Amino acid sequence: MSDVSGEGDTPLETLVEKALGKEEKDMFLPLLPPLAQDLKDVDAEIREVLPCSYSFLTEAASYATASGGKRLRPLVIIVSYRALGFSDTKAVHSLAAAFQLIHTASLVHDDVIDHASMRRGRPSVHQAFGLTAAIVGGDYLFVRAFQLAGKYSPEVIQRCGEASADIAQGEVMQENSRFDLTIDKEHYLRMVMFKTANAFAAGAESAAMVARASPEVVRSLADFGRAMGIAFQIKDDILDAYGDRDVMGKPSFSDFREGLPTLPSILAYDMLSGKEKIEFERLFTLRHKRPVHLLRLRELCNESGARNVADAEAEKWADSATRSLRNLPRGPYRDLLEGLASGAVERKY
Cβ neighbors of 162 (< 8 A, separation 6 or more) are 198, 202
- Mean of pLDDT values over 241-248: 69
Q: Which pLDDT score is estimated for 27?
A: 81
List all residues 6 or more positions away from 165 whose beta carbon is below 8 Å from its beta carbon: none
Provide mean pLDDT across the span 144-170: 98
First to last CA, the chain: 20
pLDDT surpassing 80 at residue 243: no
Mean of pLDDT values over 217-226? 98
18 has a pLDDT exceeding 70: no
Contacts of residue 6, Cβ cutoff 8 Å, sequence gap at least 6: 43, 47, 66, 68
Give the pLDDT band (50/70/90) at residue 4.
very low
Give the mean pLDDT of 283-297. Answer: 97
pTM reported for the whole predicted model: 0.92
pLDDT at 273 over 60: yes
| Contacts (Cβ under 8 Å, ≥6 apart) of 331 | 83, 85
Q: Identify whether the C-beta of residue 205 lies closer than 8 Å to the C-beta of residue 225.
A: yes
Provide the pLDDT for residue 73.
Answer: 95
Q: Is the pLDDT of residue 248 over 60?
A: no
DSSP letter at 119? E
Per residue in 36-86, pLDDT (tens digit) is 999 999 999 999 999 999 999 999 999 999 975 778 999 999 999 999 999
Question: What DSSP letter does each residue of 182-237 carry, written as one string?
Answer: T--HHHHHHHHIIIIIHHHHHHHHHHHHHTT--HHHHHHHHHHHHHHHHHHHHHHH
Q: If you compute the radius of gyration of the chain from its CA atoms, what whole number of angstroms results? A: 20
User: What DSSP character marks residue 29?
Assistant: G
pLDDT above 70: residue 123? yes
How many other CB atoms are there within 10 angstroms of residue 212's CB atom?
A: 9
Give the residue from 103, 143, 141 showing the smallest Cα distance to 225: 103
Instruction: State percent of the chain over pLDDT 90.
Output: 81
Ordered domains of the chain (ranges, CATH): 12-239+331-346 (1.10.600.10)
Q: In 3D, which of 320, 117, 333, 332 has the Cα closest to residue 228?
A: 320
pLDDT bracket for residue 5 (50, 70, 90): very low
Specify whether the CB–CB gap between 255 and 265 falls below 8 A: yes
Distances in whole angstroms, Cα of residue 241 to Cα of each of 53, 210, 291: 42, 39, 12
Q: What is the mean pLDDT of residues 260-267?
A: 97
Q: What is the pLDDT of residue 250?
A: 57
Rounded average pLDDT over 150-177: 97
Distance CA 336, CA 76 (A): 9
Classify residue 11 by its DSSP letter.
Answer: P
